[in-house]
Amino acid sequence: MECETMPTPPPLRLAESTMLEVQPRDKRGFFILPQAPEGAGYYVYGNLQRIPHSGHMAQYAHPNLLSLIFYIEREWQAIDDRKFGIGNISIAEGLGYDKHVSHRKGLEMDIRPMRKDKMEGQSARVSRFDDVYDRNATIKLIRLFLQHPMVTKVFFNDGEVQKTIAGGRVRSLQGHDDHLHIEIREY
């Protein structure tokens, strides 16, 4: 009995392909944060302009921020088995969006506070007022970020966190009850 072979398909040309709507690298040379790397210490979340499954479109990061994320997630995995959530960074080309005045240079990112129940993903939203919010783990995560010399600002509205991390290094900013805002220097 002869084996039937499938004909070789013609080479795929870019014009015919179903390319992603979003390119992994923008004109600034910034890359999208890897979305689901195996064994990573973080997960991604978010929507752009309330469009489901569009969070990746707002996760273009400056190379220095990517380096920081990869460093922190490795250090975090050494002390905690939960993942931390990364939301908005910047849109390709640094365009403005939603209600953000910042998040245009790829040097700022939003991070969820830690949860006690290890839930992660799009639906794992948590605020400082929720019973599932883990203040102690959030403090550990913030301290990891603040130990790095690139980190210049942290905003989060939990007064207990601000008292515990002395020196005014964590400050309040309207709208930051359910996420941290981390900012780094460019060079």
Q: DSSP assignment, residue 97?
A: B
Nearest to 61 by CA among 25, 95, 37: 25
Taking the CB of residue 98, how many other CB atoms lie within 10 A of it?
Answer: 13
Over 70: is that where the pLDDT of 57 sits? yes
Q: How far apart, in whole angstroms, are the C-alpha atoms of residue 51 and residue 66? A: 24
Q: How far apart, in whole angstroms, are the C-alpha atoms of residue 1 and residue 64? A: 60
Q: State the amino acid at position 15 in one-letter form.
A: A
Residue 101 has what pLDDT? 73
**Torsion angle of the four alpha carbons 93, 107, 44, 181, in this order, in degrees rounded to the nearest 10:** -130
Band (96; pLDDT cuts 50, 70, 90): confident
Largest CA distance in the chain: 80
Record the tokens describing residue 80, joined without a space: 């905690």
Interstrand relation of 84-86 and 42-44 (parallel, antiparallel or unpaired): parallel
Give mean pLDDT, residues 4-15. Answer: 43
Give mean pLDDT, residues 55-71. Answer: 90
Distance of CA 53 to the CA centre of its chain: 14
Residue 150 has what pLDDT? 97
Give mean pLDDT, residues 116-140. Answer: 96
Q: Could you report the per-residue pLDDT of 129-187, keeping only the tens digit for each?
A: 999 999 999 999 999 999 999 999 999 999 999 999 989 999 999 999 999 999 999 87
**Of 6-20, 40-54, 140-154, which range is least confident?**
6-20
Band (68; pLDDT cuts 50, 70, 90): very high
Considering the segment(s) 23-184 as one domain, its CATH architecture is 2-Layer Sandwich (3.30)
Q: Could you report the per-residue pLDDT of 21-46, keeping only the tens digit for each?
A: 556 888 999 999 998 788 899 999 87
Q: How far apart, in whole angstroms, are the C-alpha atoms of residue 87 and residue 60? A: 11
Over 90: is that where the pLDDT of 4 sits? no
Where are the chain's structural domains? 23-184
Residue 82 in contact with residue 114, Cβ under 8 Å? Answer: yes
